[in-house]
Amino acid sequence: MKIIKRNGAENAFDITKIIVAISKANETVPEQERMTPMQIQRIADSVVLSCEQLGRSPSVEEIQDMVEKQIMAHGAFEVAKAYITYRYTRTLVRQSNTTDDKILSLIECNNEEAKQENSNKNPVVNSTQRDYMAGEVSRDITNRILLPKDIVDAHNDGLIHFHDSDYFAQHMHNCDLVNLEDMLQNGTVITGTLIERPHSFSTACNIATQIIAQVASNQYGGQSISLTHLAPFVQVSREKFRRTVLEENEAIGSHLSDEAIDKLVELRVRDEISKGVQTIQYQVVTLLTTNGQAPFVTVFMYLNEAKDQREKDDLAMIIEEVLKQRYQGVKNEKGVWITPAFPKLIYVLEEDNITEGSPYWYLTELAAKCTAKRMVPDYISEKKMLELKIDKNGEGHCYTCMGCRSFLTPYVDENGKPKYYGRFNQGVVTLNLVDIALSSGGDFDKFWEIFDDRLELCHRALMCRHERLKGTLSDAAPILWQYGACARLKKGETIDKLLYGGYSTISLGYAGLYECVKYMTGKSHTDPSATPFALSVMEYMNAACRRWKEAHNIDFSLYGTPLESTTYKFAKCLQRRFGIVPGVTDKGYITNSYHVHVTEEIDAFEKLRFEAQFQHLSPGGAISYVEVPDMQNNIEAVLEVMKFIYDNIIYAELNTKSDYCQRCGWDGEIEIKEQDGKLVWTCPQCGNQDQDTMNVARRTCGYIGTQYWNQGRTQEIKDRVLHL
């Protein structure tokens, strides 16, 4: 069994350290108050048993909490007092150098929490270490100076999660929809260099990747671009190629027919599209931004976004090439084709591509094959979005999320026109619904009272985020605020006007709806008798967002938090506060947002139908998924799921596996095995457990992760059941 030290490093569990610590406290009290060696041994054995029941590596603090409780359970209150006093004294000493210890452990690569914090960051490389080191300093300043103490305490206790506190000291926002159309058509500036309107599709693709990298380095969340904004440059290239072909034809005295010229031009256009798409794919995969990872970018593929039929057909060619190249994958260091994490792809299911015989059905078939092999694209239903995303004019709109799931709310500008590109999210604070339920003891009146208190806590925390951005000068991130990604503000102008009136959103996240309902009702929220309570919890949070929006003229929006490392943090905090509650706190994770629990047996169609009603109540962001086996030989079933998505739910994905062992060439599923109380990724063919020589891709929580996960998320991945 392993333990996690305070600086994040992992050590072997040693029972003698518990015995020594209790013995030292025992020696400081009068003899008549002391415990016997047998009692001390029993306490140590009980702590070991409690640690083993956790199913994960306990932290030093958790072990010490267990020791305290066991000493008091033996009636040795004077010994307990001595033990607690010693802990408090040592805490005061450590507070002066906690940040130093964490930074040093990052540099030496022995901080297990940092290694597994982000499934798309490699903690060994210098750029990631630099970002983490800066993050520790920022987090320290945030906790000591910038945030109220009760919000910091609530975050540390797991009542809420104040996301990305390692970036809070800087005036940075979360995620956005990049206005690529404005930047390409009207030009932009990158690091002081004027970038004019591109004269070819391939140049437009190259500029797009530079914009993506710049945006990623000036924010901390995801971004999205639309292929529609690149489509007009296909015609620019086509016209250029036609001129070139005519000139070549004349130079050699040839007399090609118009049909032959058209064919030559289109061949060159296809080649240009192939090269341009390859530029985007390989640039995104190989770029390393200032935060130590590839840009977290989503590419949106929506045919009906095109302005006319010619642009739509050109867009279809781009989408086809994107899907073909993604189906192929990228080569790892061994030259084997594998699944990359980014860019994330979203394909819109619409009337022109959802049925056999529709004009673009061939793209949908290609998307299905790509999903079966590479886990992307994910799918948005134009039908459901137009039905549910209604603006103040009563019109529905279909648009992409920002990154993995964060959605803007419908917005109409001063000219009465809908606007999505150029908008952004100010930040997220997540509410732990499970803690509210457990704190209530199952009393419904008390539940709603505590709910109100926690919502107000989140409200104040979100306003801290808003106030931190307020007054930010456009000069802080010119690519965002001055040169078109989000706005075209003047130098020295603040971004304040973009923070109000619904232009940007700010998100109230939530986690653990399943466990919350399970504790309060004794049933899963899929049970018809428990679903109304689950929906009432969702409505309650939406009502709070509406009140705050009216009070501040800021677009508060309910957001289904993805929970990567936070699922583990919340689970540990709940176990520390409430112990092991069967079916509620007995795992190393809690459930993402409104999702059906990963262990619950439910078929794919019923899962999507059930979760659709919760997506509508998460206007600030949500995604649903179905877990499927290898579907490469059953594309018809994938297409049936896609058709169901079109008719029933806004946004969904299919999860499969895509692995490769570099030692033996195994390309089946890399398994998760328990070893010395720890979950370890293991090749079933050769037994390889070296993560550096395995390529593992899993859907984490809306996006693909390839750098492994903490023990809580790993357990969640292991526990997933198939829905198809």
What pLDDT score was predicted for residue 116? 52
Active site residue 175: yes
pTM over 0.75: yes
228 near 306, Cβ under 8 Å?
yes
pLDDT at 350: 98
**What DSSP line would sit under 480-508, residue for residue?**
HHTSSSS--PPTT-BSGGGGSTTSSEEEE
- Residue 559 designated active-site: yes
In DSSP terms, 226 is beta-bridged to: 300
A 10 A CB-CB count for 169 gives 18
Predicted pLDDT at 654: 96
Catalytic residue among 8, 484, 702, 705: 702
Catalytic residue status for 564: yes
Burial profile 379-395: b = 16 or more Cβ within 10 angstroms, e = fewer: bbbbbbbeebbebeeee
| Tokens of residue 474, six digits | 């456009």
Residues 304 and 352: beta-carbon distance below 8 Å: yes
Residue 402 appears among annotated catalytic residues? yes
pLDDT at 272: 98
Mark whether 500 is an active-site residue.
no
pLDDT of residue 293: 65
How far apart, in whole angstroms, are the C-alpha atoms of residue 82 and residue 62? 18
Mapping DSSP onto H, E and C, the string for 25-50 reads HHHCCCHHHCCCHHHHHHHHHHHHHH
Which tens digit of pLDDT belongs to each residue from 573-608? Answer: 999 999 999 999 999 999 999 999 999 999 999 999
- In tens, the pLDDT along 614-647 reads 999 999 999 999 999 999 999 999 999 999 999 9
What is d(CA 594, CA 419) in angstroms, rounded to the nearest whole number?
A: 28
Which one of the listed residues 302, 360, 379, 559 is annotated catalytic?
A: 559
Determine the residue type at 135. Answer: G
pLDDT confidence of residue 55: 73
Say how far apart CA 537 and CA 515 lie, in whole Å. 12
Residue 358 has a pLDDT of 97
Judge whether 160 and 429 are in contact, CB under 8 Å. Answer: yes
H or E segment at 697? strand 694-699
Residue of 62, 117, 181, 564 marked catalytic:
564
Name which of 441, 567, 554 is nearest 508 in CA terms. 554
How far apart CA 432 and CA 446 sit, in angstroms, is: 16
406 among known catalytic residues: yes
Active site residue 702: yes
Give alpha helix (H) positions in 596-706: 604-615, 635-648
Q: pLDDT value at position 363?
A: 98
Q: How far apart are alpha carbons 339 and 370 in whole angstroms?
A: 10
Active site residue 133: no
Q: What single-letter amino acid sits at 640?
A: E
Q: Which of 105, 111, 138, 174 is catalytic?
A: 174
The single-letter DSSP state of residue 377 is: -
- For helices 444-469 and 531-552, what crossing angle results, to 10°? 40
Give residue 347's pLDDT: 98
Which residue out of 133, 401, 404, 541 is catalytically annotated?
Answer: 404
Strand partners, 418: 412
Q: DSSP for 417-437? A: -B--TT-BEEEEEEEEHHHHH
Whether 404 is a known active-site residue: answer: yes
What pLDDT does 61 receive? 85
Query: If DSSP states are collapsed to H, E and C, what string results for 622-639?
Result: CCEEEECCCCCCCHHHHH
pLDDT value at residue 662: 92
**Which candidate in 183, 375, 401, 402 is catalytic?**
402
Instruction: Count CA within 13 A, CB hemisphere, residue 571.
Output: 29
**Cβ–Cβ < 8 Å for 506, 556:** yes
Q: Taking CA 492 as the corner, what is the angle to CA 488 and CA 495, rounded to the nearest 5 degrees? A: 55
Which listed residue (105, 165, 381, 406) is catalytic? 406
Task: Determine the 3-state secondary structure of 138 from DSSP.
Answer: helix
Give the bridge partners for 529, in sequence order.
none
Active-site residue identified among 51, 133, 175, 385: 175
Closest by CA to 409, choosing from 613, 701, 618, is 618
Q: CA 701: distance to chain centroid?
A: 6
The pair of structure tokens assigned to 75 is 């009636």
- Which residues in the chain show pLDDT less than 50? 119
Which has the closest alpha carbon to 176: 210, 214, 219, 211? 219
Q: Exactly one of 425, 474, 542, 565 is catalytic; which is it? A: 425
Whole-number pLDDT of residue 701: 73
Say which residue the tokens 């990872």 belong to: 293
Both tokens of 82, joined, read 């001595």
Contact 36, 93 (CB under 8 A): no
For 507, residues 6+ apart whose C-beta sits below 8 A from its C-beta are: 174, 406, 425, 426, 427, 428, 429, 462, 556, 557, 558, 559, 620, 621
Residue 644: strand, helix, or coil? helix
